[in-house]
Each structure stands twice: as C-alpha cells, then as structure tokens.
Amino acid sequence: MKNINITELPNGIKIISEKISYVKSFSLGFWFNVGSRDETEENSGISHFLEHMFFKGTKIRSAKKIAEDIESLGGYLNAFTSKEHTCFYGRGLTDHVEKTFEVLADMIQNSVFNPKEIEKESAVVIDELNDIEDSPDELIFDKFESNVFKGNSLGMPIIGTKKNLREFRQKDLIKFVRENYTADRFFIVASGNIELQDLIMFAKKYIMKMMMAAGTTKRDLILTPAKDIYVEKETQQVHYILGKTTYGIKEKRRNIVSVLSHILGEGSSSRLFQKIREENGIAYQINSFLNSFFDISTFGVYLSTNNKSVYKAQDLIFKEIEKIKQKKVGEIELSRAKEYLIGNMLMSLESTTNRMLRIAQSVIYFNKIKSVEETVKHIQSVTVNDIREMSNELFESTNKFENGGLTRVILSSKNILRQKVA
C-alpha cells in the first residue's frame, strides 16, 4: 500500500509505519498477538491484568512518572486487551515520537510488578468485573460466548475470574510475560507524520535486546452444540440473545454476513429496529451483532424487553428472518447497507489511531497490509443472491434451536425460558 512500509528486525520484531505528511501528530502502537484466547482456566484474566500492571511502574519510572512523561508533552497513553491481542499505544505531536516510544519500550521490558501494586490493582479489576456483572447488557454477551465456545479459551471472559484476580502473584505475571510476550508475537505500528527509519532507530536504541522469538501457542478450537441457557439476574428487563457461530475474519464470506447483519439489525433503519421498536414498540434496544476472531465469529440478535413481550419479539425476529430467506433483498436496500459499512470505515480513517489499529489488525490477521480499496471491493461485491444464500445457510432451521445451530441466552430475574420453546 502506498505510504505504508514494513520491515522485520533480526530478532523477529515487525515494524510497520504509515507516513501521513499533512498531519502534525502520530499514533504509535506496541502490539502483542496475545490475549485471553492464550490463557487457561487457571490463569484466565492474566492478559488483561498484565495490561493494567504495565502502567504501574518500571525499574526507572513510577506509575505517576509514566503518565507525567507523556501528558507533560500533550500526549496520551492507553492500552486494551482483546481475546486475540493486546495493544499499548500513545498519541502525540510528531516532535515527541521518541519519548513516547521510549516510555512504551520501558513499560513492556522493565515493569517490576510490585506485589503491593498487584494487590491494589487486583481490587481495581475486581471492581471492574463487578461493574460488568451489574450491567446485564454486557454480562449476557459474556454468557453467550461462554456457551457457544464451551470448553475453549475463546469462551472465557477477558477480565477473568475473581478467584484468579485475587491469586495472581508477581511470579505468575513474570512467567506469562516470558512465555508469551516474545519477539515473534510483537508488532510496532505507527500512523501519522512519522518515518519508518526513525522507528527502526528507536527500536535498535530501546528494544533491540528485548526478547528472542519463541514458539507461538496453538489456538485450537473444538465446538460442541450449544444449548439454550437461562441466567438468573435481578433486573427489570429481560435480556435476550439469539445467535450462532459463523465465518471468521480470515474468510471472505464474512463480508456477506457483515452486510446481512446491517440489513437485519444494525442502525435505526434496519428491519428489526423498524419492526420491533418503531412499529410494535416492544423493545427499547434491539440490534444484530457480528463479533469476529481469526477463525470464527459470533452472529446474532440482542434485545431487551419485558417479560410479556420477549416471545412476541422473538416471533417477529423469525418473521423478518424468513422474509430475507424467501425473498431477495432489494438492490436499493443492499446498496444502502454497503454504503453505510463503507462510509463508516472511511470516516473512521480520519483518525491516525484508527488507521494504526486497522494496519495492525491487517498484519495480525492476514500477514499483509490489506488496502482500504481491497476491503471496499469485497463489500461492494456482495450481491442480493449472496444475502439470500447466506440467510438460508445461517438460519437453516429457525424453529430448532439446539439442532439448527441457533442458541438462546435469556437473562432475567425470572426463568421464562421454560415457559415457551419455539
């Protein structure tokens, strides 16, 4: 891709940069192809906990000093953990690239994981976990993924468990870093007014001696049929998910599912929003979703409503699904969906941080720089026949949940799952 350059250092670290001459800033990400998918039940949550702990002090910097060194330059430092990768990133003016690079390098190489800080941060993350458990619209998605990915690390929540969070020790963090935060899993990605040669120079100066490559952990995935589940939770609303697994990021057919998802339930002009909320007024929140990983995705519909309306809403969902299965989506509706997806993507690329994120994920998932034009072409290539065929493939048997591949999760204060089985 034009203006994007990539190089690999002798120790296996990849450096990718996108030069944007007309901006005065940069976004710099230190990426590790490591996430909760690389954990076990015994250390579930350790990737996310480590993300927190990397900010809590190094051999030469306190937690306060890490923040001050970046914020005093008008910059910004943050991180996130997903199921498949972890990213530490900074934003700032071009003049301060080296300082941002040096601080990030110090964090990932020299963090001390002080036992007192571990104890304090454990309480902080447990509070974060409690917040999730008190948010039914978040909790239900964790329950859904633990159901469809039962027996696999993909089914474990990123945040982990209270038991593990209370038991993490310095030696556990050091061991996980040593085994997983290796050069072959490490990417340095930048977008903005920045030169590749400068990044290479900084890498040689600050992290060339970091770590040598190690074998990458296998991410096996063995699926078993999921069953409908009820989650008891004191809540005024019923929270409901109907969904299944489908194509992952590496599969081109995922683009068809993405367009289908938008037509079905993404945005206020979607079929489900119009039918269930606008016409019938029986759900405040309803949307389809497509959460994707390298080799698999989860796809489905989420809604929140009251006890009396949940099965009426379910019936309406099935009716809309049947319409898409039996009758071709109109060209105008299809065009709107594709233009929405393309427009959202292109607008997001106004941000150097989003550009950095996109480039990194392209390298991680495709081992190449996937151009914007290529992505647009794939979306534009989706036809009305593709949508119909995919609808019939995904919803082959809408009235047979367990056997048809669809599964429900219902979260409410009262078990209404047994009251009616479609």
pLDDT in tens, 56-88: 999 999 999 999 999 999 999 999 999 999 999
Q: What is the pLDDT of residue 400?
A: 47
Q: Domain 4-206 sits in which CATH superfamily?
A: Metalloenzyme, LuxS/M16 peptidase-like (3.30.830.10)
Q: What is the pLDDT of residue 401?
A: 46
Contact 85, 180 (CB under 8 A): no
pLDDT in tens, 279-304: 999 998 999 999 999 999 999 999 99
292 closest CA partner among 343, 340, 247: 247
pTM over 0.95: no
Q: What does CATH list as the number for 229-412?
A: 3.30.830.10
Query: Degrees (nearest 5) of the Cα angle 148, 153, 157?
Result: 80
In the predicted structure, residue 338 carries a pLDDT above the cut 50: yes
Q: What is the pLDDT of residue 418?
A: 61
Q: How confident is the model at residue 209 (pLDDT cuts 50, 70, 90)?
A: low
Across the chain, mean pLDDT equals: 93
152-203 confidence digits (pLDDT tens): 999 999 999 999 999 999 999 999 999 999 998 999 999 999 999 999 999 9
Distance separating the N- and C-terminal Cα atoms of the chain: 50
- Tally Cβ neighbours within 10 Å of residue 417: 17
Span 48-56, average pLDDT: 98
Catalytic residues: 51
Domain boundaries along the sequence of the chain:
4-206, 229-412
φ, ψ of residue 99 to 5 degrees: the values are -60, -45
**pLDDT (0 to 100) of residue 212:** 55
Closest to 241 measured CA to CA, from 395, 403, 404, 407? 407
So what's the pLDDT on residue 416?
82
Asked if pLDDT for residue 318 goes beyond 50, the answer is: yes
Q: How far is CA 137 from CA 151, 180, 227, 237, 303, in A?
A: 23, 32, 20, 10, 9
Give the rounded percent of residues in the chain with a pLDDT score beyond 90. 88
Report the 10 Å Cβ neighbour count for 350.
Answer: 8
pLDDT in tens, 379-421: 999 999 999 999 999 998 644 444 447 999 999 998 887 655 4
Mean pLDDT of all residues in 328-344: 96
Query: Residue length, the chain?
Result: 422
Count CA within 13 A, CB hemisphere, residue 281. Answer: 0
Q: What is the pLDDT of residues 75-133, one digit of tens each?
A: 999 999 999 999 999 999 999 999 999 999 999 999 999 999 999 999 999 999 999 99
Report the Cα 42 to chain-centroid distance in Å: 22
What is the C-alpha to C-alpha distance for residues 282 and 324, in angstroms, rounded to an integer? Answer: 22
**Would 4-206 and 229-412 be classified into the same CATH topology?**
yes
Give the per-residue pLDDT at 208.
Answer: 65
Using alpha carbons, list the distances in angstroms from residue 70 to 80, 100, 103, 125, 159: 18, 7, 8, 24, 27
The pLDDT, as a whole number, for residue 219 is: 84
Q: Are 133 and 143 in contact (CB under 8 A)?
A: no
At position 57, the amino acid (one-letter code) is: G
Query: pLDDT, tens digit, for every residue of 244-262?
Result: 999 999 999 999 999 999 9
Q: How far apart are CA 408 and CA 411, in angstroms?
A: 10
Q: What would the 3-class secondary structure string for the chain be?
A: CCCEEEEECCCCCEEEEEECCCCCEEEEEEEECCCHHHCCCCCCCHHHHHHHHCCCCECCCCHHHHHHHHHCCCCEEEEEECCCCEEEEEEEEHHHHHHHHHHHHHHHHHECCCHHHHHHHHHHHHHHHHHHHCCHHHHHHHHHHHHHCCCCHHHCCCCCCHHHHHHCCHHHHHHHHHHHCCHHHEEEEEEECCCHHHHHHHHHHHCCCCCCCCCCCCCCCCCCCCCCEEEECCCCCEEEEEEEEECCCCCCCHHHHHHHHHHHHCCCCCHHHHHHHHHCCCCCEEEEEEEECCCCEEEEEEEEECCCCHHHHHHHHHHHHHHHHHCCCCHHHHHHHHHHHHHHHHHHCCCHHHHHHHHHHHHHHHCCCCCHHHHHHHHHCCCHHHHHHHHHHHCCCCCCHHHHCCEEEEEECCCCCCCCCC
CA pair distance 379, 387, nearest whole angstrom: 12
